[in-house]
Amino acid sequence: MNLNKDLFSLSTINIQYFLIKIIITRYLYLSIDGKLTLLKKWMNHFNNFKEIINSKDPEVKTPLFYSCYFNFKNILMYLLIKGADPFLISKSDLMYIISVHKEEILNQCKSINLKKTDSQKGQLINADKHFKQVQLRFSQFQAILSELYQQFLDQNLQYFRSINVTIDYFQRNPIHYGSLSKYTKCFQYIKSLAKFDFKFQGWDLFNNIIMEVQLLIQTGYKNINPRQYKHYHECNFLNQQLLEQKLQILFIILRNYKRKLLINRITMVNDKLNIIQRHICIKHHFLKTLQLLNLCYYWEQILKQKKRKNQDTFRIQIK
């Protein structure tokens, strides 16, 4: 087909359809390589060129629209330079363009990785000029958490102390019922009683933080990169050494407490029937429990003898 002859035979009214046909059928294949000489030569023959390039077809599409749709960048730039109006589109076309750009932005966001942080040290994995500010803010946050954690341990230590000396209507403590139920390891039974219906006082302070982290995990795929977050069980906002130190202090207090209080007060308490744990063990032939109680009493006597011996030695030295 002779394009020059066909082009000049068309009227000015129908020239936009021919231009669209040129773009769709790729007659101007050379224009993709940046050669717009042929198109420029044709368009110079018309005085109403701006009206032609801004005209619409029956689907309300302009040549500029088809240039965008088929990704003809050179033709697109040529039309814009010649005065093509990019805003002459229908509402549906505008929504289509918006959706296309939205998909492009979402695809770009998938390739973007936000900076990860080390939750133990408060450092950015990719350190930058804000490193000192980040470390300072994390130190303040860690100090608050450390204080709250210490309050949490202190409150539960008080609860542990109170539950082990609790007596019921029959003046019986947990050790009595540990003997009655033939539970041979009485001190482990007390630990089980402490865990039963254990009230985590002060837990709300930590629960808020945990819920915030969990919320970020659940909604991470929508607005952030979820790979930068860990599950809160894997995070350690308190320094591991500080955490172990506080727990070790708590265990030392509990061991001293059990040695002094459980042996001296709990194992020797009589109920309303004037029955102690040893009576129950002997009556029901709970030999292992009796051995455990006797062992506690035996260690108590050793501690007393050792204390007396030290006192006597001290007196002799004074004399």
- pLDDT tens digits, 163-222: 666 676 677 666 666 666 554 455 554 555 444 444 444 445 445 555 555 555 555 445
pLDDT higher at 299 or 42: 42
pLDDT at 9: 43
Q: Output the CA–CA distances (angstroms, integers) from residue 34 to 18, 29, 39, 162, in the order listed.
A: 21, 10, 11, 87
Q: What percent of the chain has pLDDT over 90?
A: 0
- Are 35 and 68 a contacting pair, CB within 8 Å? no
pLDDT at 163: 62
Mean pLDDT across 16-43: 52
pLDDT higher at 162 or 14: 162
Predicted structure pTM score: 0.28
Mean pLDDT across 31-52: 60
pLDDT at 294: 56
- Are 62 and 55 a contacting pair, CB within 8 Å? yes
pLDDT higher at 299 or 80: 80
pLDDT at 8: 42
Q: Output the CA–CA distances (angstroms, integers) from residue 76 to 53, 62, 219, 227, in the order listed.
A: 11, 11, 40, 40
Q: Render pLDDT for 115-138 as a digit per residue (tens, 0 to 9).
A: 555 555 555 555 454 556 666 777
Least confident of 178-187, 222-231, 246-255, 280-289: 222-231
* The dihedral sign for the CA sequence 211, 156, 197, 287: positive
Give the count of alpha carbons within 13 A of 68, CB side only: 15
pLDDT at 276: 58
Max mean pLDDT among 14-23, 83-92, 97-106, 290-299 falls in 97-106
The 10 Å Cβ neighbour count of residue 44 is 9
pLDDT at 12: 40
- Are 122 and 140 a contacting pair, CB within 8 Å? no
pLDDT at 198: 40
User: First-to-last CA distance in the chain?
Assistant: 132
What is the DSSP track for the chain? --HHHHHHHS-STTHHHHHHHHHHHTS-GGGGGT--HHHHHHHTT-S-HHHHHT---TTS--HHHHHHHTT-HHHHHHHHHTT--TT---HHHHHHHHHHHHHHHHHHHHT--PPPEETTTTEESS--TTHHHHHHHHHHHHHHHHHHHHHHHHHHHHHHHHHHT---TTS--HHHHHHHTT-S-HHHHHHHHHHTT---TTHHHHHHHHHHHHHHHHTHHHHS-GGG---TTT---S-HHHHHHHHHHHHHHHHHHIIIIIIIIITT---TTS--HHHHHHHTT-HHHHHHHHHHHHHHHHHHHHHHHHHHHHHHHH-
pLDDT at 259: 54
Q: Which residues is 118 bridged to in the sheet?
A: 123
Domain segments of the chain as ranges: 3-110, 145-318
Confidence bin at 26 (pLDDT 50/70/90): very low
Write out the two tokens for 309: 């011996």
Question: What average pLDDT is seen over the chain?
Answer: 60
Which are the contacts of 135, defined by CB distance < 8 A and separation ≥ 6? Answer: 121, 122, 123
pLDDT at 62 over 70: yes
pLDDT at 51: 73
pLDDT higher at 184 or 50: 50
Q: Render pLDDT for 63-105 as a digit per residue (tens, 0 to 9).
A: 877 887 777 777 777 777 777 777 665 555 566 667 777 777 7
